[in-house]
Amino acid sequence: MNSRHLGYLFCALAMLGVGSTVVVSKSIAAGLPPFSATALRFAIAFPLFLLVMRWRGVRWPRLDRHDTLLVIAQAGAGSVGYTVLLISGMKLASAADAGVIAGTLPAVSAAVAMLALGERPAPALIGAILLATAGVLVCTVHPGDFTAPHVASSLMGNALVFAAIVCEALFILLNRKLHQPVAPLPLSALMCGIGFAVAIVPACFEQPWMLPVDAHALAGVLYYALVPTVAGFVLWYAGAARISGAEAGLMTALVPVSAVALAALALREPVSAAQLTGVACVLGAVLLATLGRMGAARSTV
């Protein structure tokens, strides 16, 4: 297998791990409060990142005051905000619906950049935003079902999952504003360390030690920390180093596909035609967003 094929494989495995977080968050939400689960996730992942940094001889970055505040904001939004909102949303949402929503990240990131930074997106990016929006609406909003008692809680769950994706998009946006770019490995370690410091205080108010031990929830947090967080980082950046940014971006299309497939296989959730249509719309949005980035890159050359 050549280096390019390895790059595709590594990025694909990383995105499959990201898709699985939607499913595993379902079991975590059933047994642990969201801040407690978030703090535990980072408590497990942070020492592992420190070991990897030591092994590779990577030093901590020197940040000025501006970048220090931005990194703290990144950790609050992209680490704590994303995890807490996703786990909270999964108490109410279908894993398949949440998987489709999670796949809209490229389009949501483009929309946030357009609204917050005043960026002028290419027509392809506008199309991606519209397609992603259509995909979310198709799979999560069913006008004929509004009289059903479960609909209000399901919509609230979907809204929380979407808020988690907005937090992740803010993480990407804030990363662009750093004066001095931070390498991926120390940045991931910083996100885990700061994320733990931010989450541990509200976690204490949740008093998780008063709850009965839920083995499935603890196993879910351990999986979340080891596979999508640590292993996902290693796989993604090892793969991204072997292929272009646009090609790596296309691999994010696996997130909704893996989430919906795992929801059906692991949770036995039925997959509806509306959800499959939503997946198709989101896949089209990822493709258009990637084409938009490629077009923007060519115009700057």
In tens, the pLDDT along 33-73 reads 999 999 999 999 999 999 999 998 999 999 999 999 999 99
- Kindly state the average pLDDT of the residues 228-234: 90
Cβ-count burial of 199 within 10 angstroms (0-12 exposed, 13-18 middle, 19+ buried)?
buried
The number of beta carbons lying within 10 Å of the beta carbon of residue 210 is: 6
pLDDT score recorded for residue 234: 87
In tens, the pLDDT along 285-295 reads 777 776 666 56
Q: Residues near 98 by Cβ (< 8 Å), separated by ≥ 6?
A: 22, 25, 86, 89, 90, 157, 158, 161, 259
What's the longest Cα–Cα distance across the chain?
59
pLDDT at position 247 over 80: no
CA distance 27 to 25: 5
pLDDT score recorded for residue 124: 74
Scored b (16 or more CB within 10 A) or e, 120-140 reads ebbebbbbbbebbbbbbebbb
The whole-model pTM stands at 0.85
Greater confidence, 219 or 175? Answer: 219
CA distance 268 to 117: 42
* 3 alpha-carbon distance from chain centroid: 26
pLDDT score recorded for residue 151: 59
Q: Residues near 162 by Cβ (< 8 Å), separated by ≥ 6?
A: 101, 104, 136
The number of beta carbons lying within 10 Å of the beta carbon of residue 1 is: 7
Residue in the structure block whose two tokens are 């646009």 = 246
Write down the mean pLDDT value for the chain.
85
Residue 77 DSSP one-character state: I
Give the pair of three-digit tokens for residue 178.
């750093």
pLDDT score recorded for residue 212: 92
pLDDT score recorded for residue 110: 76
Greater confidence, 16 or 124? Answer: 16
pLDDT score recorded for residue 63: 92
Greater confidence, 205 or 177? Answer: 205
CB 153 within 8 A of CB 92: yes
pLDDT score recorded for residue 245: 66
Q: Residues near 265 by Cβ (< 8 Å), separated by ≥ 6?
A: none
In tens, the pLDDT along 1-10 reads 677 788 888 9
Which of 97-101, 128-132, 166-170, 223-227 has the largest mean confidence?
A: 223-227
pLDDT score recorded for residue 241: 80
63-67 own/partner pairs: CB under 8 Å, 24+ apart: 63/180, 63/182, 64/179, 64/180, 66/179, 67/178, 67/179, 67/180, 67/182
